[in-house]
Structure 1
Amino acid sequence: MLPRASLYALTLSCIVFLKALTVVKATALTTAIAANERLCFYADVDKAGEKLGFYFAVQSGGSFDIDYEVLDPNSKVLLDGQRERQGDYVLTANTVGEYSFCFENDMSTLTEKLIDFDIMVESEPRREAPAKQGQIADHTTALEESIFRLNGYMLNIKRTQKYFHTRENRGFDTVKSTVNRLFWYAVLESLGIVGMAVAQVHILETFFTKTGRRYKV
């Protein structure tokens, strides 16, 4: 059993550390982009030096690819790509203002694309000093290491979940496409069989018909 003073200090260290954790503003969305459409999303950065996180994955449509651009408040291109299936990037925002995250489905003339994406704006404020010097110094380091380790594990789990979510959606889309092709193949095959049967009956009737007279067999 820990003494009451140690428990109190440990509790204070937890509170101070949680208050000092990184402030994150994130947006997780799923959107459909029609053929020949350009769609943009926006995130505000309050101060220079903040981190921008950008993740996207094409879930369905065509070859699972999309064009994208990331623009700063001065319309300068920070990141772009063509016919990309997915991406996970972290940028440093050096300019205060509104950043644009744009997707463009210009390569498709008929196919709609379904995209899952995250936009994250992250800032790292300084930790407040403890009320009394040395009050929680003995516990902070070990606690920080444990929490950062857990945070790393959770980020890995989140990335793995995103990966499997994307694989599941793409596999389901492939299955739907295969089922649709099999259906139309079966329809065409049935029509072909019916057509061949009609053609055979017609040929047999023509074969046993001579100068206007029909002979029964």
Structure 2
Amino acid sequence: MVKLLSNSFTTAASIILLHLLSSVSRVNAVALTTPIAANERLCFFADVDKAGEKIGFYYAVQSGGSFEISFDIKDPNDKILLDGQSERQGDYVLTANTVGEYAFCFTNEESTVTQKLVDFDIMVENEPRREASARPGQIADHTSELEESIVRLNGMLHSIKRTQRYFHTRENRGFSIVKSTQIKILWFGVLESLAIVGMAIGQVYILQTFFTRTGRLYKV
């Protein structure tokens, strides 16, 4: 009898855990990396099906110039909800009060030559409220404990994700700086070699003209 009750409780707890995992949050996410040419404006769109949903927007310039770019977010009525000028990265959470298509646009006006590589993430999230258990008692208590554990794990996962994004951005920017420095060193070496060759040719020419008088070349 005890074994039967134990198996029933384990089964019920498993069902509750699966229900919580499937109903804690519903997230539609788009993570992309895109190049943006100089003086180019590039927009991406996300649909919101229900008013009050949360919209998460993250971006970071991975390479190009001083790692700066401008952005703006517009609602379905073309109202600007958020914008920024010459920023390197950002992480924002907005509340969608209007159902429809939201626009996320990047503008590379800071550079007339350099292309920017932008890593961004758009998330549309809806977190429904947990319904009260129809059978109060021990099952409800365990449901609350499981929900709290899942929320803590979700927060830890988001913290790990933010840390990974930070190191990913630092790695890409460091690689971009190293690559840019290597190109500058290469061109500096080429220009230095051309300068040395030019100085050698100039010295030969000066010596030749120095020993040339009235159209005659004196041999030394």
Fold shared, TM-score > 0.5 on shorter chain: yes
Q: Among residues 151, 155, 158, which one is paired with 2:158 in the alignment?
A: 155
CA RMSD for the aligned pairs? Answer: 1.9
Q: CA deviation at 1:207?
A: 3.9
Long gaps (5+) in structure 1: none
3-state SS, counterpart of residue 89 of structure 1 = strand
The answer for the alignment partner of 1:170 in structure 2 is 173
Q: For the Cα contact (< 8 Å) 1:56–1:115, is it kept in 2?
A: yes
Q: For the Cα contact (< 8 Å) 1:56–1:87, is it kept in 2?
A: yes
> 1:39 is aligned with what amino acid?
L
- In 2, the alpha carbon distance for the partners of 1:38 and 1:172 equals 25
The answer for the alignment partner of 2:63 in structure 1 is 60
The answer for the alignment partner of 2:119 in structure 1 is 116
Q: For the Cα contact (< 8 Å) 1:12–1:136, is it kept in 2?
A: no
Range that drifts further, 188-197 or 137-146: 137-146
Q: CA deviation at 1:202?
A: 2.8
1:21 equivalenced with 2:24 (yes/no) = yes
Q: CA deviation at 1:192?
A: 1.2
The answer for the alignment partner of 1:10 in structure 2 is 13
Q: CA deviation at 1:140?
A: 1.3
1:88 equivalenced with 2:91 (yes/no) = yes
- C-alpha distance 100-77 of structure 1, shift in aligned 2 (>3 A): same
1:101 equivalenced with 2:87 (yes/no) = no
Q: CA deviation at 1:171?
A: 1.0
- In 1, the alpha carbon distance for the partners of 2:180 and 2:150 equals 45
State the aligned residue count: 216
Q: CA deviation at 1:18?
A: 1.4
The answer for the alignment partner of 2:54 in structure 1 is 51
Q: For the Cα contact (< 8 Å) 2:62–2:172, is it kept in 1?
A: yes
Long gaps (5+) in structure 2: none
Q: For the Cα contact (< 8 Å) 1:56–1:86, is it kept in 2?
A: yes
Residues 12-67 of structure 1, C-alpha deviation per residue, up to 9 Å, x if partnerless?
22122112211000000111111111111111111111001000111111211111
- In 2, the alpha carbon distance for the partners of 1:73 and 1:213 equals 85
1:30 equivalenced with 2:30 (yes/no) = no
- In 2, the alpha carbon distance for the partners of 1:190 and 1:181 equals 14
- In 2, the alpha carbon distance for the partners of 1:127 and 1:138 equals 13
- In 1, the alpha carbon distance for the partners of 2:103 and 2:216 equals 82
> 1:147 is aligned with what amino acid?
I
The answer for the alignment partner of 1:201 in structure 2 is 204
Q: Could you tell me the percent identity over the aligned residues?
A: 68
TM-score (ref. length: structure 2): 0.90
3-state SS, counterpart of residue 73 of structure 2 = strand
- In 2, the alpha carbon distance for the partners of 1:204 and 1:42 equals 70
Q: For the Cα contact (< 8 Å) 2:68–2:110, is it kept in 1?
A: no
Residues 60-99 of structure 1, C-alpha deviation per residue, up to 9 Å, x if partnerless?
1121111111111111110001101100000011111111
